[in-house]
Amino acid sequence: MALLGIHAALPLPPESDTSLSAQLPEYVQRDVDTELRAAVGDAMRRSAFVVLVGSAASGKTRSAFEAVRAELADWRMIIPPTASDLDELVLSGLPLDHCVIWLDELARHLDSGALSLRTVHKVLAQQAGPLLVIGTMWPTDYDRISEQHSINERAPKLGGGAAAILRLATRFDIASAFTASERQRAAKISECDPRIREAIEHSTNAAIISSLACAPELIRRWEQPSDPVGAALITAAVEARLCGHPAVIPPGLLRLLAEQYLTNAQRAQAQPDWFDKALQWALHPVRGDVAALTPSARRVGELDGYQASDILTHRSARRYASRRQSPAKPWDVLVAYADRVACEVIAMFAFSSGYHDHAEAAWTRLADDGDTNAMIALGTARQDADDSEAAAAWYRRAVDAGEKEAMAPLAVALEFLGRTDEAREWIRRGAEAGVPGAMVGLGRNLEDAGDSEGARHWYEAAAAAGDHGMGMLFLGTMLRDQGDLEAACECLREAADAGRAYAEPYLQGIPVPVGVTDADLMKYQESVTRPYAEPAFLLGQIYRAQEQFEEAKTWFHRAGTLGHGEAMVNLGELLWNDDEHEMALTWFRPAAEAGSPEAMLYVGMILDESEETAEAGEWLRKAATGGFPAALGRYAIYLHEQGDQEEALEWASKAREAGDPIIDAYFAAVGGAGTAPQVRVTALEPDSLNDAINWTPLAHTCGCVAEWGWDGEHADPLSFIQWCCNMVTMECPWHATVTVADGRPPLFVWHGPEGPAFFARIASGVQAELGQRITSAIRELLAMTESGDQAGITADIPSEYRDWLESNGYNVAEAWLNKRLTDLVLNRLA
């Protein structure tokens, strides 16, 4: 069982039932087992990759073992000691069908960088037959590895695609404490297994599994030691692991680390054999075979080192996480004396955990030994810290050491320093050396210089070199700007497909780090994936401009899935226009949380519709204070509805200054104190206006009919149509603004940003009849739209026009609705 990674448990009392296993207590079925075993059993039909995530002593390894034993009992089991061994197994060509590849402590394989995405793909694509890859991880390791792709994406040789590997797996979470139903099952089993009974009696907070694994005894041995030097040695092993060192620590390194944890008095009194004695104390089992420190070896007779108990390591990790700190003592020793592979892992761990100084120290040691990957990582870290001078120096060292991939980032650093001629020379040299990023950079330089053909050559060369879509992105953008939309779309589609394949694995189920807000996470995701989402976003923009809305939705959805904030807003707007407000909210909310004022406005409006008033008001306030013009009036309306008239009028004034076309109409319709400033009344007689005003009579809810006019110089038909569709649901401006009949002026004027835009005058008797008919038709159309009655909307559409719309890919109901509203509001049916 130790080979599989299952913790040693309480010893079986001598007088127990002989049918009980001395090694393993009876298994208590977990709530997740049904789904877990279904996923494991599914490997009979097709290869599967399963990862169980849980804290130390949560029972994840035992649950994995029982699932395999229940579903795949007759399959062979392969336990590769290292990721390199798995690589060798795949390359050997041996058939792996009907095998279980057991990767307990999967983080150990991923941290080393030796387990490649290519290897995992090859394993899962075995042609001889299905197999199962199953592993276990701590939640902290899963989160850390999932988040460490930023530096890898810019320096691809680092990290081995560990985050992408995790995206291939089906994750099952194993809780450390039993649920109520699990406790009931444990109580029943305790009737025959005394170990379960003892664990229940001595456990707190349903932590039965940790009691089975002797966690209380281990913790007591460490925290209340009879040998303080031995406890210091255990602490050294635990904290080294918390700093990213692989679990097994070589004896020589463990001795150096332990010295950091001795007090001055302990150092002074230490005998020559102090380390051996402390080690023997730490290795001594607390009960049965359970010890705080265990020896580890991959080959018989060859000691690799010692591993601290997962239970103690996890306990210490929780303590440091609660203080948002990292152990301070191990870093210098680890960076200086860990072996090369461990040093690479420590550097990546430190960087992904935010300890950039320690990461740079580890990379510097590797770079001084000639590691060009470490040089590039140092250059990237310095560039992120706005130290372009140091970044350029590291990139230049990598180039001088033969790493051509460093030429492109070197050019970027030089550009930041204002050394443009040098930057362009390195871009040219990198492009000629076949570096995709440099090819794109050279193409951009040529495009800026007006050499479209030269730019096209290098963009296409970058795409052919496998640049994840960047060459086609810039070529598509150039063609779009030149007006060749068909060719632009073709390039952008190719770029979008390449970018999606590269970037999408990073965002599938990305966990939220401790202390990171949703807004921070959204910005982080977008910063990583935006270059690869951009072509899909641009395609969405092109199709939206061409009113091919369904196609636009498809591409905005793809870009939004990759974290592109603007694409989320655009997709949300299209869904909003289709009255799919709840679906729109799922896209607006993450964009709003990332800081988009436009998305905040929509979130506020949708929540207000759902009567989630308090949260709606908060989002509307954020949108308004964020400076989004359309939000100013909407927030004023919200405040008015909540009874805050003084602040409502203040925001209404701001909205008017920003040119909001709706705010005056709203306050005119609802009436109340302070509405006069929102509506400007002219002294002109209605007949004195010039012929440029276009009039449409409309009936209002108060029974009055007004003629509404729009000034073509300061307004557009689309705005007027939207305005009138709102007006038919409101009182006329006279009833809304003036209570005394004699005081009602003959003409109202609503001002746009550059002058008068909309007018209202009392309609004559003939126009009143027309206004009733127009309003009735508009209300009928709006009601059909609200109810989704597409058949009613399109009932009178000519068959030839319907055929033409369908053949050109238009939404028939939407197109006919827009035409009917336009004809009605612009008074074309009189």
Bridge-based pairing state of the strands 248-249 and 305-308: antiparallel
Residue 690 has pLDDT above 70, yes or no: no
Closest CA to 10 of 278, 238, 288, 249: 288
DSSP-assigned letters across all residues of 768-806: HHHHHHHHHHHHHHHHHHHHT-HHHHTTT--HHHHHHHH
Using pLDDT thresholds of 50, 70 and 90, give the confidence band for residue 408. Answer: very high
Most trustworthy range by pLDDT among 63-67, 76-80, 198-202: 63-67
Cα–Cα distance for residue pair 672/326, rounded to 1 Å: 61
Cα–Cα distance for residue pair 559/563, rounded to 1 Å: 7
List, for residues 599-616, the tens digit of each pLDDT value: 999 999 899 888 888 888
Most trustworthy range by pLDDT among 9-23, 507-521, 544-558, 681-695: 544-558
Q: Where are the domains of the chain?
A: 33-173, 214-338, 773-825
- Under DSSP, the state recorded for 126 is -
Q: Please tell me the predicted confidence (pLDDT) of residue 830.
A: 47
**Tokens 């990292």 sit on residue:** 326
114 or 638: whose pLDDT is higher? 638
Cα–Cα distance for residue pair 805/239, rounded to 1 Å: 69
Taking the mean position of all CA atoms in its chain, how far away is CA 252?
42
Q: Is residue 166 within 8 Å of 146, Cβ to Cβ?
A: yes
Q: Please tell me the predicted confidence (pLDDT) of residue 736.
A: 60
List, for residues 96-154, the tens digit of each pLDDT value: 889 999 888 888 778 766 677 767 877 776 666 789 999 999 888 888 787 654 444 44
Q: Please tell me the predicted confidence (pLDDT) of residue 672.
A: 42
Cα–Cα distance for residue pair 445/68, rounded to 1 Å: 58
User: Span 585-602, mean pLDDT?
Assistant: 90
Q: Mean pLDDT lowest for which of 342-356, 632-646, 665-679? A: 665-679
- 3-state secondary structure labels for all residues of 697-726: EEECCCCCEEEEEEECCCCCHHHHHHHHHH
C-alpha dist (Å) from residue 74 to 86, 98, 815? 21, 8, 63
Q: What is the pTM of this model?
A: 0.55
448 or 201: whose pLDDT is higher? 448
Q: Is residue 469 within 8 Å of 496, Cβ to Cβ?
A: yes
Q: Measured between alpha carbons, how far apart are the two ends of the chain, in Å?
A: 88
Residue 446 has pLDDT above 50, yes or no: yes
* Angle, helices 581-593/597-609, rounded to nearest 10 degrees: 140
Q: Please tell me the predicted confidence (pLDDT) of residue 515.
A: 38
CATH architecture of the domain formed by 33-173: 3-Layer(aba) Sandwich (3.40)
Q: Please tell me the predicted confidence (pLDDT) of residue 248.
A: 92
List, for residues 223-263, the tens digit of each pLDDT value: 889 999 999 999 999 999 999 898 899 999 999 999 999 99
Average pLDDT, the chain: 81
754 or 281: whose pLDDT is higher? 281
C-alpha dist (Å) from residue 519 to 351, 354, 557, 653? 21, 18, 19, 31
